[in-house]
Structure 1
């Protein structure tokens, strides 16, 4: 599959909103908005992202919009996050997209967070050079409970 990143277009947002409301994907991601179905909050979030110093990208697989990848936050504390449509899980798309994002944004260090039991996301991050540096216990809206979270970073 040919995986590419491009700037986010307004026409991508309905796709991202649909992806964010997949119950299985929400459970896996765990750390999500309190109410992912709140379209006004979703739109406000993306308006802030698109007008900030963040680096949001749309993930394309063979030309189809399949997710997003973003570098966000303050310099020295910036994090990566990504979301791939569940229909495309297990095909190497998240790994390819994150690698491209890391090439595009050479700034280091970069951080990432994942639910400790999200083996797929942890695998993606490790393949891209991230290393686990901390563990925490945090409230996960999508699960309605505190769960273990891993904090990772990449230096180069």
Structure 2
């Protein structure tokens, strides 16, 4: 059981670990809105270079008891502040995502903050609603991990 959760900037040495988390088949299915090919390391590295060089993005790793157990970010899309996170499936159900979201929200003074989750990802929706987000709508969007359009829940923290 993870006792301590912390956040820190992404370092080069973290990339192999984060890449492995983001290609786990069950995690990819639950996240739904992923890279077209989660196993494409070249595309992952290019994406991470863009994200890490963008001053509008806060990109952090989640540490559980001192080891990398996920990633979390704040970014801006069409003027809207959004958050996203990914937690290693090995620590699901241990409160890591909820604690990481709370820590990120302490670092992000902007409000409102938006989040999105596959409509059938109840655990992630629960993390966000416990953090104070409210469901404000749904959209149908293409989910690369599932190869089809699915319903996405849109949440907002005012």
TM-score category (smaller protein): over 0.9
Report what 1:29 is aligned to: 31
Equivalent residue for 2:124, pick from 121, 125, 131: 121
TM-score (norm: length of structure 1): 0.96
Report the aligned-residue RMSD: 1.0
Task: Return the offset for 1:144.
Answer: 1.1
* Distance in 2 (alpha carbons) for counterparts of 1:7 and 1:74: 21
The answer to whether 1:82 aligns with 2:80 is no
SS of match in other structure, 1:78: strand
Classify the secondary structure of the residue corresponding to 1:21: coil
TM-score, length-normalised on structure 2?
0.95
Structure 2, gaps ≥5 residues long: none
Question: Number of matched residues?
Answer: 155
Residue 149 (structure 1) aligned to one of 148, 152, 157 = 152
Find 1:63's aligned residue among 48, 62, 66: 66
Quote the residue 1:6 is aligned against: 8
Deviation of 1:75 after TM superposition, in Å, equals: 7.6
Runs of 4+ aligned structure 1 residues displaced above 3 Å come to: none
Q: How many Å separate the matches in 1 of 2:5 and 2:15?
A: 19
User: What is the SS of the residue equivalent to 1:37?
Assistant: coil
What CA distance in whole angstroms lies between the structure 2 residues aligned with 1:92 and 1:104?
19
Residue 72, structure 1, aligned to residue 75, structure 2? yes
Deviation at 1:76, TM superposition (A): 4.0
